[in-house]
Amino acid sequence: MRQIISPVFLLRISQSWLRPSAWVAGVLLLLGFWLSLIWSPADYIQGETVRIMYVHVPASWGAMMTYFAMAVLSLYAFLKQNPTAHILTRSMAPIGLCLCMISLLTGAIWGKPTWGAWWVWDARLTSMLILGFLYAGYILVCAFVKPEQHALKVAAILAIIGSINLPIIKWSVNWWHTLHQPASILRLAKPAIHWQMLVPLLTMAFGMAALCFCFFLITLRGNLLQQKFLALLLRKTHP
C-alpha cells in the first residue's frame, strides 16, 4: 500500500493516465448525452423532465463514492501518519463538493415540476445537503487551520466521522417516509428501471466518473508538485 501511494508512483500515474482517461470521458459523455437526450424514451408520468435523472443520479453516486474513498484514505493516513494519503484525500474533496452541488441543483430543478417545490426537507435531500457541508468543512479546515499537520489530522477525523452520513443518504428512503423515490438500481432485487433508461444512465455515470478522474489527476499532480516544491524550499532555507 505504501508503495502504491508513494509520490513518485502517483506523479507517474497522474501524467500517463490523464490523456487516456480524458478520451474515455469525452467519448462516454458524448454517447451518454445522445442516449439520454435523444435515444431514451420520456417517462410515462414525468415526461421529458425525467432526463434530469441522467445528470442528477450519476452526480449523487459520485459524491457519495468520492466521500467514501476520502474516509478510507483518511483512516489510513490517520493510523499510518502517511502525508501522501492526505494529499490524495485533499485532491478528491473539491471534486466531491462539485458533484454534491450538481446533485443538489439538479435535484431542485427536478423537484419543482415533480413535487411542486424547489426544496423540501426530505430525509435524503437533507442528508445530501449535510454531505455538501462536510465537503466544504474539509476544504476549509485544510485551507485555514494552521499548522498544516494539525489541519490534516482534524480534516481526517472530520472525513472519518462524516462517513456516518453515507448510509443515512442511501437508506433514508427506507427508514423514513420521504418524498424521494426508493432505489431503482442499487438494490438487492432486480433493478426497477427499464433498460432503455438504464443504458444511458450507466453510460453517463461512467463518463462522469472518467471526467472526475481526469480532474482528480490534474489536482493531484498540482498538489504533489506543490508539496515537492515546498520540501525543496524548506531544504534550501534550513540545510
Question: Does residue 40 sit within a domain?
Answer: no
**Average pLDDT for 157-186:** 73
Question: Does residue 77 sit within a domain?
Answer: yes
Residue 43's DSSP bridge partners are 47
Residue 191 pLDDT exceeds 80? no
Query: Per-residue pLDDT tens for 57-74?
Result: 999 999 999 999 999 999
Cα separations in angstroms, 181 against 115, 143, 157: 11, 37, 32
Grid cell, residue 185, equals 438500481
**Average pLDDT for 174-179:** 58
CA pair distance 130, 153, nearest whole angstrom = 21
Selected residue with higher pLDDT from 181 and 205? 205
Grid cell, residue 85, equals 494519503
**Average pLDDT for 66-94:** 90
Residue 47's DSSP bridge partners are 43
Q: pLDDT band for 219, please (50, 70, 90 cuts).
A: very high
How many structural domains does the chain have?
A: 1
The one-letter code for the residue type at 154 is V
Question: Does residue 143 sit within a domain?
Answer: yes
Residue 13 pLDDT exceeds 60? yes
**Average pLDDT for 44-55:** 84
CA pair distance 103, 95, nearest whole angstrom = 12
Question: Does residue 23 sit within a domain?
Answer: no
Q: Up-side HSE of residue 156: CA atoms within 13 Å toward CB? A: 23
3-state helix vs strand vs coil in the chain, percent to 5: 80, 0, 20
pLDDT for position 233? 41
Query: Per-residue pLDDT tens for 105-136?
Result: 998 898 888 778 887 888 788 889 999 999 99
Q: Which domain holds residue 128?
A: 54-176+195-227
Question: Does residue 3 sit within a domain?
Answer: no
pLDDT for position 174? 60
Question: Does residue 149 sit within a domain?
Answer: yes
Question: Does residue 146 sit within a domain?
Answer: yes
Task: Please report the sign of the dihedral spanned by the C-alpha atoms of residue 47, residue 193, residue 124, residue 162.
Answer: negative
pLDDT for position 148? 73
Question: Does residue 132 sit within a domain?
Answer: yes
Selected residue with higher pLDDT from 237 and 23? 23
> CB neighbours of 217 closer than 8 A, spacing ≥ 6?
13, 14, 17, 18, 21
